[in-house]
Amino acid sequence: MQKDQLASFLTLYHCFGIGRVSLIALAKQFSPNFNQIFELDRSKLKAAGLGNEQIDQVLNPDRSAVEQELTWAEQPGNHIICYDDDAYPPLLKEISDYPPLLYCSGDIELLKNPQVTIVGSRNCTPGGARTARDFAATLAQAGLTITSGMAAGIDSQAHLGALSCGGNTVAVTGTGLDRIYPSQNKQLAYDIHENGLLVSEFPLGTGPNSENFPRRNRIISGLSVATLIVEATRRSGSLITARQAVEQGREVFAIPGSIHNPQAQGCHQLIREGARLVTQASEIVEELGSLLGFIAEHIPVPAEATKSQLDPESNDLLGTIGYDPVSTDELVERSGLTIDKLSSMLLLLELNDLIESAPGGCYVRI
């Protein structure tokens, strides 16, 4: 849209009571001279399908927010993309409730790239965080753009994994792009602005209202050809994203975990419901290969891990620690070691990235 057309579109976008359906209908009805809607009298606005409260908003618009956003869009890297712009992502426009416009900050060319969503628990385990980073880095190296919601936990790790290898990442926020949430992700948001893309449908100044995030999730899945759930409880918001992906006709993948890990229960539920179980990033590339034109052989082969030099006693202890959480009391019973000796050996194994601590004072093998 031209700047004057965009200003009119934004003015309607900020009118209370005019939702996406009415907004898009009006845009189509008055295209290409969208500005003329503000020249109509009450009777003609009513004939256009607007109610009395909507007409009041159109006849007395608050243009201050619009001016602020137009100024914001003139800053380097900032864009406001309407649904009929060439830059609007075509895959997102395929969903039934696509947003009328997107506020973007960063490289908007990434909207044209094939994307894979990686989401999961905000309170992820250390193992889940590492898995999200590793999957994101490997998929990014294979040429996929990693999309997530910049939330704490799995989302942040997915973005970091993509950035760590020079890959591409898109963050869809539940706030205006001038508000960073959570606040500890300010540096991450800056890095994504510089090396990726921040996206939101919410006007500048919008805070982290709870109802925004489920709404935001349809964009996360809608931008992507597939969604991967790394960790999720049964009531996780990530399951909303996964189900929206299914409704949008997109692939859903889930990583299984221990039957004792509550953070894996949501993934197990999705797998029972038909999500594809994956344990390696290459499986996702192979599954999407024909759709994306990728060759699975392009997936980077991880270097073989260097075996830690452990003494025989530590090796024996490692053998007693499985992939399900085990308490120190049970390890004392299994190994016959004193608690002091056991604690020092567990620390050594953890420093060598062979085990990790789990909730409840337990340990699991990596």
Task: Return the CATH architecture of domain 312-365.
Answer: Orthogonal Bundle (1.10)
Q: Bigger pLDDT: 28 or 205?
A: 205
pLDDT number for residue 149 = 97
Q: Bigger pLDDT: 311 or 284?
A: 284
Q: Flag whether pLDDT at 304 surpasses 70.
A: no
| Beta-bridge partners for 357 | 363
Amino acid identity of residue 127, one-letter, is G
Query: How confident is the prediction for the chain on average, in pLDDT?
Result: 90
Q: Where are the domains of the chain?
A: 1-72, 108-298, 312-365
Q: Which residues of 276-311 are buried (b: 16+ CB within 10 A; e: fewer)?
A: eebeebbebbbbbbeebebeeeebeeeeeeeeeebe
Retrieve residue 98's tokens: 């696509």
Cα angle: 353, vertex 354, 355; to 5 degrees: 95
Question: How many CB atoms sit inside 10 A of residue 185's CB?
Answer: 20
| CATH node for 108-298 | 3.40.50.450
Give the whole-angstrom CA distance, residue 273 versus residue 353: 34
Task: Identify the DSSP state of 325.
Answer: -
Q: Bigger pLDDT: 351 or 114?
A: 114
Q: What is the pTM of this model?
A: 0.83
Give the whole-angstrom CA distance, residue 314 versus residue 350: 11
Contact 8, 36 (CB under 8 A): no
Q: Among 12-16, 68-72, 336-340, where is mean pLDDT lowest?
A: 12-16
Question: How many CB atoms sit inside 10 A of residue 88's CB?
Answer: 18
pLDDT digits (tens, 9 = 90+) for 149-201: 999 999 999 999 999 999 999 999 999 999 999 999 999 999 999 999 999 99
